[in-house]
Amino acid sequence: MDIEVDPLSPVPIYQQIRDRIVEGIGAGHLHRGDALTSVRALASAFAINPATVAKAYELLRSEGLVATNAKSGTFVARDRTGEPPSPQFVEDWTGRAYTLLAEGRARGLSTSSILEVVEQLSARVDAGASSTVLQE
Q: Give 18-71 pLDDT, tens digit per residue.
A: 999 999 999 999 999 999 999 999 999 999 999 999 999 999 999 999 999 988
Domain-embedded: residue 1: no
Here the CATH number for the domain that contains residue 86 is 1.10.10.10
Q: Indicate if the pLDDT at residue 133 is higher than 60.
A: no
Domain-embedded: residue 5: no
Q: Distance between CA atoms of 134 and 136, rounded to whole angstroms?
A: 6
Domain span including residue 81: 13-126
Q: Distance between CA atoms of 115 and 118, rounded to whole angstroms?
A: 5
Domain-embedded: residue 92: yes
- Distance of alpha carbon 104 from its chain centroid, rounded? 21
Q: Which long-range contacts (CB under 8 A, 24 or more apart) does 53-56 make?
A: 53/14, 53/17, 55/14, 56/13, 56/14, 56/15, 56/17, 56/18, 56/21
